[in-house]
Copies of this chain bind each other. A is one copy, B any other.
Amino acid sequence: MKKSIVVSTSSTKFSALAFKEDLAENIKKVADLGFDGVELAVRDPKYLEVEKIINLMKECNLEVPAIGTGQAYGEEGLSFSDPNEIIRKMAVERINDQIMFASNFDAQVIIGLIRGKINESVSQAEAEEWTIDCLRKCAELAKEYNIRLTLEPVNRYESNFINTIVEGIEFIQRVGVTNLGLLIDTFHMNIEEVSIEDSIIQAKDYITHVHFADSNRWAPGCGHLDFKKIIKTLKKIDYQGYVSAEILPLPNPDAAARITAETLNKI
């Protein structure tokens, strides 16, 4: 199992990210800590110096397992479930840009908060249909680039649909494309799942990416989740992908990254 940590390519108000400022310096720190990859959280790839980032990763011998895309919802309100067709179109275009960016690294593109929240003025069925439609459009472009999307269930407070692993699996089945997998996040699972381990086993044919954060969203080891047991379960289902720390930068970004590396190395 390879390990990575989320780094944002620009400053952001979304807080569950280690290492927010000065990309080059932070990526070198990640490499020094022994991580195998960096998950990049990107608001809009249009403003990135892509060649520079590619070279930086090569220099540091780091992979990019996934691209986080939630900032476009958090900062701009772009969403797959918005009643406004234009907003949905902008969200699809943004994810398409992320897919093209991701193709430089063979990274998965995360479909997390970009699905939005279902507006009280519309029915759940209608909002889900919009979301499915957006996902199919993105999956089509992703296929051309040989890129996978990965759908992340998030806890009830962050969205009002696709909260549990089972809901994630059912949604993936409804979308019905071959390049959409499941991203499981231990922080969200602690709130939503009856049993974290049973849910991992149930999702074994779908999981393509894993987020690690402890129960309080601090680095693994700072809360009460049993990461030994979680990793054992991931090995049991023969998970071959990355575990990627998406954590609060607490008590400070450097310490959060260091504790993550230490905890994962210990297990």
B224:A193 contact, CB within 8 angstroms = yes
What's the Cα separation between A195 and B224 when bound, in Å? 6
Number of A interface residues, CB 8 Å? Answer: 14
Copies of this protein in the complex: 2
B194:A224 contact, CB within 8 angstroms = yes
A222 at interface by CB-CB < 8 Å: yes
User: Chain A, 136-160, contact with B by CB distance < 8 Å: what is the 0/1 string?
Assistant: 0000000000000000000001100
Per the 8 Å Cβ criterion, residues 144-193 of A in contact with B are 157-158, 190-193
* Interface of A (DSSP majority class): loop
A68 to chain B, nearest CB (A): 20
What residue in chain B is nearest A221 (Cβ atoms)? B194
A191 partner residues in chain B, CB cutoff 8 A: 190-191, 215-216
- Closest 9 interchain pairs by CB? A157-B157, A195-B224, A194-B223, A192-B216, A191-B191, A194-B224, A190-B215, A194-B222, A191-B215
**Known pairs A192-B216, A194-B216, A194-B223. 10 more at Cβ < 8 A?**
A157-B157, A157-B158, A190-B190, A190-B224, A193-B215, A193-B216, A193-B224, A194-B222, A195-B224, A196-B224
